[in-house]
Amino acid sequence: MSKVNEKSKQESVSLRDKQYKIVVDNIRKVYDVRSQNGQDNEEFLAVDNFNLKVKKGEFITVVGPSGCGKSTFLDILAGLSKPTSGNVYIDGKPITGPALDRGIIMQGYALFPWRTVEKNIEFGLEIKNIPKEKRREISKKFINLVGLKGFENRYPHELSGGMKQRVAIARALAYDPEVLLMDEPFAAVDAQTRESLQEELLNIWEKTNKTIIFITHSIEEAVFLADRVVVMTANPGRIKEIINIKLSRPRINSQIRTSQEFNSTRNRIWELLHGNDDKKQVEVSV
């Protein structure tokens, strides 16, 4: 395809889908892997025929079997990996690599052990060449937002798992990305802390109006957090179904998890993940 045609295609995508923050257009990802005999290479199809449109400020969760390509999809959104075919757009512009319009939060915190809480949060601001006094003002704001006031000068090894994850969230928010990409960020903490962090994240999301793509293995977590849940098939990863979550907001764990709506939605997703049908991508309301 010529550069002129490619430019025309990108402009048409921008015009057609301008109401969406993120447009995932038929991406496919193939890896070259070592074959069983260990001597030859063969193709491994990780993600296939993946299409998704996300509105600004929407909270999307993604669930699927282990190895279905959830993290591969997130890597492509982050610009850390390129699709073999297809395109991903943010505000109509194709993703060509990592950029500060996306914040990434991983399961393993990825904090700098030699930096205090305050200095970890300021890291992205330093990259953006924000003046020192302004950095301190911004970091203070987000330290308060995630409930870590009084821990500014602690180092990561002095914090609990839940506190570390709060620092990671604050660091991602501090440099003001438009999109947050979260890969099982609460998987390593205990159940009680996990529920607390879920409510904390929703509180932050409601205040900041960020667009969030959140990967999880927990059906309950997916339903509790999301506007929509994307259910993926086993390898190769395709979208099996997209379920609209009609639970009211704001959401509190103790109230939501006992409701009929929550349980019927959770059961529906469980059936999709454990069923043997190969439905094409559909969108349903629950």
- Residue with the bigger pLDDT between 223 and 38: it is 223
- Give the pLDDT band of residue 190 (cuts 50, 70, 90): confident
- Give the pLDDT band of residue 235 (cuts 50, 70, 90): confident
Q: Domains, the chain, ranges and CATH?
A: 17-101+179-245 (3.40.50.300), 109-176 (no CATH)
- Give the pLDDT band of residue 2 (cuts 50, 70, 90): very low
In terms of C-beta density within 10 A (0-12 exposed, 13-18 middle, 19 or more buried), how is residue 17 classed?
Answer: middle
Q: How confident is the model at residue 35, as a pLDDT?
A: 64
CB 72 within 8 A of CB 151: no
Segments in 100-257 forming alpha helices (H): 117-121, 123-127, 132-145, 161-174, 191-208, 219-225, 253-256
Helix (H) or strand (E) holding 181: strand 179-183
Calculate the average pLDDT of the chain. 86
- Residue with the bigger pLDDT between 255 and 23: it is 23
Residue 279 has pLDDT above 90, yes or no: no
In terms of C-beta density within 10 A (0-12 exposed, 13-18 middle, 19 or more buried), how is residue 66 classed?
Answer: exposed
Provide the CA 261 distance to its chain's centre, in angstroms.
Answer: 24
Helix (H) or strand (E) holding 114: none
Q: How confident is the model at residue 16, as a pLDDT?
A: 58
Cα–Cα–Cα angle for 37, 39, 44, rounded to 5 degrees: 75
Residue 277 has pLDDT above 90, yes or no: no
Q: What percent of the chain has pLDDT over 90?
A: 56
- Residue with the bigger pLDDT between 110 and 102: it is 102
